[in-house]
Structure 1
Amino acid sequence: MEMNKILYKTILKNAFFVPFKIRFWDGEVIKYGEGESEFTFIFNNPIPLTEIKKDPSMALGEAYMSNAIDLDGNLQKVIEYLYNNSKSFLHGPIINKFFSNNRKKSKDNVEYHYDIGNDFYRLWLDDSMTYSCGYFQSPDDTLNDAQKNKVDYILRKLNLEKGQTLLDIGCGWGELILTAAKEYQVKSMGITLSSEQFLKVKERIKVEKLEDLVEVQLLDYRELKKRKFDRIVSVGMVEHVGKDCLHEYFCAVDKLLMPKGVSLLHSITCNSGVAIDTWIDKYVFPGGYLPTVEELTSNIINEDFHLIDAESLRIHYAKTLEHWAKNFENALPEIMKIKDETFTRMWRLYLNGCAASFNCGNIDIHQLLFTKGVNNEMPLTREYMYQ
């Protein structure tokens, strides 16, 4: 045990540029750095050092879930300190692990994450239950404001006109297709692989009496046949497609989109295109893959689409996640009534870790707007997106 403590001290000593403390399972407390400590790293139980060296994300993630380690301080900030220090143990070997997401695997993966209960998501998402990056027109915007802004922004980018048809691939709880129908009088269709989301969207369509304009189906995008749409949008869905199926996704969009049609892809992206967080894959988003901008634009070009606009919303997602993490903590008494402590610690780490990743630039998020073939009818400038 004493040797373990010496090795822990060696690993952690240079992991942070700020003053901090370590408290061990036997009560010993040591301090590094000058000035007041910003946090205390707590070892409730030893963790095998071989596991930390082999896969620090998995080892520390599982240790936090089981309360073998804990933290007295701001979790997001501590993770950012680790990411911003090139000498920290989080900068270990890159894990290459890619998945082939066939239709059954895709459905299983989506259900694993999204079908854990609408009641759970309702406790910490905004009023519209929009589970994707918001758009903050002002730092003072609430989460509700940001999610409404995001939906409005996407619909403006698509340059919708009354009477057109819109497909939302991965429609979530339906806010975008419902808003499109109400604000633009377009016929909207949403598809999802989540049974929980499907039932909620059906309920919302009925409550808002939009049966003539909005439909939702529980199916894979590859199963949608003999339909054509003027506009296609996908928000936070392509991350579930997988590296091997990216080309298949764009082929499907090509078949479903009318000539001169417009599509918007809203996706988390990563710089390297080879790093998979093994802990997130195992516990949060199985089968996920974050494409690079190069991969996305290459597929767009290869399908003879024309890229007309690209925008990064990285800071917007960091702020969105910070709102979610705060809401999550505020709702913890209610969450603990339906989920156990291991689950809540997992989600706390996930939300704070993702916020840190966006703030540090480890991952990004882009909106790519493209047309099928040449479309000379789109507005000449980006001004229309802000009106």
Structure 2
Amino acid sequence: MTTDVATKLNIAQALERLMKDGLPFRFEAFDGSTAGPEGAPLTLRLKNERGLAYLMTAPGDLGFARAYVSGDLEVEGIHPGDPYDAMVLIMSQLRFKVPSAAEMLQIVRSLGFGNLKPPTPPVEEHLPRWRRAFEGLRHNKKRDAEAIQHHYDVSNRFYELVLGESMTYTCAVYPSLEASLEEAQFEKYDLICRKLDLKPGQRLLDIGCGWGGMVRHAAKHYGVKVIGVTLSREQAAWAAEEIKRQGLEHLAEARHGDYRDVLETGFDAVSSIGLTEHIGVRSYPSYFAFIESKLKPGGRMLNHCITRPNNKTTTTGAFIDRYVFPDGELTGVGRITVAAQETGLEVRHVENLREHYAMTLAGWCRNLVENWDACLEEVTEGRAKVWGIYMAGSRLAFERNEIELHHVLAVKPGAGGDAAWPLRPTWLS
């Protein structure tokens, strides 16, 4: 072994050994070592040995998240509610290299073998996939309910502060670059109503209804009788109260439960806004078969969900799986349209709205920043940091076409193939 390899490294030197092109930010460690350019717009400060152990035992986004969420890693130069600029800098300029076995041994020996023992994860972290397996197969009713509750049953007040007046946690549709978040959320619901060709007196089933935004919009503005269903008890309670406050009880209902337990049938339309991401690709056949079974002939379905730019099936990364959407799974719009077609639904229109989701996430981050102190009265600082990381990171992913947002509009043809469909789209007028 050469003298250089045998030399003990400080933390900053160890980090530099892993970089291809140096650091685009300033780095300071609790052992007094520093690296990166002075005067950089961003400073990462590793405060203690637990943070170092987080980074060593889970290299990548999970270890970073653990250290950051726990407060063991500070990022100076950003607001924790919107770390978008920091993520752009890091993801565009940070390049890791693969060290030789001798270099890796030197790094680990210098940093301490004791730091290869994983510390207890932050309280905000969900169980890993292998431990969730003891709860049963993915996407059974019990495990789905627990996954949804982990994310959504946080604090309705927290969501009010982040999401805004519409209380809508799905991609908005911006009618113009100047439109506000609230205007864009109104347009999203209205566009879906127009695509479904809703008319007074018709019946709509909204599965995965969240806080009831679609339920209320369809009832209030289109005179439709709506049943919404969500696995989140907190969402259902909030939605029911808002329906009552707006005097829509004669038209709208928000239920707490699994969509698979809905017994009513013969609906004129079914909307699913942000649910498909949670159900798993293997469940697509039964999911679309359920929707088809609930529609009357000529009835329409609108499926709104996050997709991949290819048709490979991928689980979410470690950070998203542990901190945001346990058991989440994404694939391309092609897989969705095939699954819908194979149940007898006829796909009539597909639209990609990924830029709109990037704009939506920017709006949510602005709300989190503006309401940061109030948010910390509702959730831990670690939980608020999680939301900042994942929303800013998701914004960047939509901008880079790493993920997309698709509307798939389909119809259940009647006897002889009659789809009751206009010659040209009517929802654009």
Distance 1:82 1:368, change over 3 A: farther
Deviations 1:343-372 (A, max 9, x none): 222222122222122122221111111111
SS at match of 1:385: coil
Q: Which amino acid letter does the alignment assign opposite residue 60 of structure 2?
A: P
Q: Does 2:353 match 1:338?
A: no
Distance 1:50 1:118 in 2: 31
What is residue 167 of structure 1 aligned with on the other side? 205
What is residue 25 of structure 2 aligned with on the other side? 20
Distance 1:50 1:24, change over 3 A: closer
Q: Does 2:101 match 1:59?
A: no
SS at match of 1:361: coil
Shift of the alpha carbon at 1:261? Answer: 1.1
Shift of the alpha carbon at 1:189? Answer: 1.1
- Preserved contact between residue 76 and residue 356 of structure 1 (Cα < 8 Å): yes
- Preserved contact between residue 308 and residue 330 of structure 2 (Cα < 8 Å): yes
Q: How does 1:216-227 map to 2 (within 5 A)?
A: 216-227=254-265
Q: Which amino acid letter does the alignment assign opposite residue 65 of structure 1?
A: V
Q: Which amino acid letter does the alignment assign opposite residue 21 of structure 1?
A: R
Distance 2:96 2:272 in 1: 36
Task: Name which of structure 1's ranges 185-194 and 238-247 shifts more when overlaid on structure 2.
Answer: 238-247
**Counterpart among 198, 204, 210 of residue 242 in structure 2:** 204
Q: Does 2:231 match 1:189?
A: no
Q: Can you give the 5+ residue segments of structure 2 that lack an aligned partner in the other structure? A: 1-7, 98-127
Distance 1:172 1:385 in 2: 24
Shift of the alpha carbon at 1:6? Answer: 2.0
- Preserved contact between residue 191 and residue 217 of structure 1 (Cα < 8 Å): yes
Distance 1:137 1:52 in 2: 46
Shift of the alpha carbon at 1:286? Answer: 1.3
Distance 1:132 1:65 in 2: 24
What is residue 422 of structure 2 aligned with on the other side? 379
Distance 2:231 2:95 in 1: 41
Q: Which amino acid letter does the alignment assign opposite residue 303 of structure 1?
A: T
**Counterpart among 366, 370, 376 of residue 410 in structure 2:** 370
Q: Does 2:102 match 1:78?
A: no
Distance 1:69 1:12 in 2: 19
Distance 2:323 2:162 in 1: 19
Q: Which amino acid letter does the alignment assign opposite residue 288 of structure 1?
A: G
**Counterpart among 253, 268, 273 of residue 306 in structure 2:** 268
Deviations 1:77-102 (A, max 9, x none): 3323444469458xxxxx99996211
Distance 2:313 2:93 in 1: 21
TM-score normalized by the length of structure 2? 0.81
Shift of the alpha carbon at 1:3? Answer: 4.5
Q: Does 2:182 match 1:139?
A: no
- Preserved contact between residue 277 and residue 328 of structure 2 (Cα < 8 Å): yes
Q: How does 1:108-127 map to 2 (within 5 A)?
A: 108-127=146-165
Distance 1:275 1:104 in 2: 19
Shift of the alpha carbon at 1:76? Answer: 1.3
Distance 1:73 1:247, change over 3 A: farther
Task: Name which of structure 1's ranges 170-179 and 369-378 shifts more when overlaid on structure 2.
Answer: 369-378
- Preserved contact between residue 166 and residue 187 of structure 1 (Cα < 8 Å): yes
Indicate the RMSD between aligned Cα atoms, in angstroms.
Answer: 2.6
Distance 1:12 1:313 in 2: 36
TM-score normalized by the length of structure 1? 0.89
What is residue 353 of structure 2 aligned with on the other side? 313
Distance 1:76 1:379 in 2: 43
- Preserved contact between residue 229 and residue 255 of structure 2 (Cα < 8 Å): yes
Higher-Rg structure is: 2
How many residue pairs get aligned? The number is: 377
Distance 1:49 1:32 in 2: 25
Q: Can you give the 5+ residue segments of structure 1 that lack an aligned partner in the other structure? A: 90-94
Shift of the alpha carbon at 1:39? Answer: 2.1
> Identity over the aligned pairs, expressed in percent?
31
SS at match of 2:157: helix
Task: Name which of structure 1's ranges 241-250 and 141-150 shifts more when overlaid on structure 2.
Answer: 241-250
